[in-house]
Amino acid sequence: MPTIVRRSLSYVIGLFILAVGITFTIISNLGAGAWDALSVGLSARFGWTVGTWVILIGVILIIINALLAWARPEIHSLITVILLGYFIDFWLLIVFQDIRLTELPIQAAVLLLGVTIMGLGIATYLQADFAIIPIDRLMLNLKRLFRLRLMGAKTLAEIIALIAALFIGGPIGIGTIVVTLSIGPLIQVFFKRVKKIVSI
């Protein structure tokens, strides 16, 4: 299989898997990741779908990143947020539309499964080495501007989203902490394994 085909499949399939994981964390009702909680909160307060807000936040971040870097907007990053936004809406509004979880053990299991799937999805789509998502570009810009380590910049970006999500009324909870602390290690666990499969 040609390299470009493998990379393209990794890109699309990875984003599709990532959307599943994000959806699971949302429907667990234990708290989503900070950026996802912001999208859910905006959807609840102002209407439009969660996926639409994922796209709009991505567009805003593309503009902010361009201003921070004094560079042209990374328009190609729109492809990533558009795909991710539509995939999230597919899972939330079509596949899991009527799911309402109320029992804590099931909620916890769905949350943990969602975070694990998110790690797999990110590790898969990163194999393509295509457009970086605006959230990650923001992290890199904060790292450069404030001379932070990567983890410090990532934490700062998450805090910004967390404050915004709290202000909007997004679903912040124990799940938010779980996502924040575990997503990095999970990506690292899956990355090399997925790379071997993609390289076949």
Q: Is residue 161 part of a domain?
A: yes
SS3 labels along 154-200 = HHHHHHHHHHHHHHHCCCCCHHHHHHHHHHHHHHHHHHHHHHHHHCC
Stated pTM of the model:
0.87
The kind and range of the H/E element at 118 are helix 104-125
Q: From CA 180, how far away is CA 120, in angstroms rounded?
A: 15
* Enclosing domain of residue 54: 3-195
Instruction: Answer yes or no: is 103 within a domain.
Output: yes
pLDDT digits (tens, 9 = 90+) for 12-54: 899 999 999 999 999 999 999 899 999 999 999 998 999 999 9
Domain-located, residue 76: yes
Tell me which residue of 190, 17, 31, 1 sits closest to 117, measured CA to CA: 17
Question: Is 200 within a domain?
Answer: no
pLDDT in tens, 90-140: 999 988 887 888 899 999 999 999 999 998 998 888 887 777 788 878 888
Tokens for 64, please give them. 């902010």
- Give me the sign of the Cα torsion angle 183, 16, 48, 95: negative
Domain count, the chain: 1
Average pLDDT estimate for 149-164: 82
CA–CA gap between residue 114 and residue 100 (Å, rounded): 15
Residue 85 identity (one-letter amino acid): G
pLDDT score for 159: 86
Quote the crossing angle between the two packed helices 3-27 and 77-90, to the nearest 10°: 50
Residue 70 predicted with pLDDT over 90: no
Q: Answer yes or no: is 128 within a domain.
A: yes
Helix ranges (DSSP H) in 28-95? 34-46, 50-69, 77-90
Whether residue 58 contacts residue 85, with contact meaning beta carbons closer than 8 Å, is answered with yes
